Amino acid sequence: MDDHAADPTRPLRRTDRTTPRRAERSAYDRALAYEILDEGAIAHVGITVDGQPFVVPMAYGRSGDELFLHGSVATRLARVMGEGAAVCVTVTLLDGLVAAKSQFHHSMNFRSIVVLGRARRLLDDEAERALERIVDHTLPGRCDETRPPNRVELRQTAVFAVMIDEASIKTRSGGPVDEPEDLDPDVWSGEIPLRLAALPAIPDTNTAPTAPLAASVAAALAKFA
């Protein structure tokens, strides 16, 4: 769990499973992979149980070339990952909508990464450090401001690491690509940029009106400004 253990110049491992049909939109740049993962807020984790696929949204964190996931030990996802089953982890950043002059060419601008692998169960100190990474991922520095999990909470939580190795990046940017016969200037076409933006923070009823805004909350507001 050392950030220096990963070499951002080393490409992601390319396999038949991570080679998409649209090769011009794919990439295997590890530094870009880290950038997407660090900017994202939610991961979708796919597993298969008795032939039935499930995709579960989860909070996550990263350290070096490891992606961290966690959940209740009682969940199906934790049980399956604990048994060493294959997982697929996807993080997508939606950058915009693309309005074309034909329905066929409407699209979206995005950056995404798909990571394939098997989860490794983390225990004791490794699990605690991974949980800190998950908490600090969207609220940078939050662990320094709050109580760490106690023994009971740790026993109720399964923490896993997935290596960022066999993976692929897919991106799209720019405007629509219309057919020449559809280029009617009276039909609007172009891009609608989107971004995830934080609204003003709202303290709960257990926070004193005089309590200063936490540094981690200010950092999250800045991250999603």
Q: Would you write out the chain's pLDDT as a tens digit for each of its 225 residues?
A: 555 457 888 889 999 888 877 667 788 999 999 999 999 999 999 999 999 999 999 999 999 999 999 999 999 999 999 999 999 999 999 999 999 999 999 999 999 999 999 999 999 999 999 999 999 998 999 999 999 999 999 999 999 999 999 999 999 999 999 999 999 999 999 999 999 999 999 999 999 999 999 999 999 999 998
Nearest to 158 by CA among 136, 126, 115: 126
Three-state SS at 224:
coil
Residue 43 lies in a domain: yes
Residue 214 lies in a domain: no
Residue 224 lies in a domain: no
Residue 213 lies in a domain: no
Residue 59 lies in a domain: yes
Residue 157 lies in a domain: yes
Residue 103 pLDDT: 97
Residue 4 pLDDT: 41
What 8-state DSSP symbol labels residue 209?
T
CATH code of the domain in which 142 resides: 2.30.110.10
Three-state SS at 87:
strand
CA distance 5 to 205: 43
Residue 122 lies in a domain: yes
DSSP, residue by residue, 110-170? EEEEEEEEE-EEE-HHHHHHHHHHHHHHHSTTGGGTSPPP-HHHHHTEEEEEEES-EEEEE
Residue 196 pLDDT: 94
Residue 22 pLDDT: 67
Domain that holds residue 106: 3-178+188-195
How many domains does one find in the chain?
Answer: 1
Residue 203 lies in a domain: no
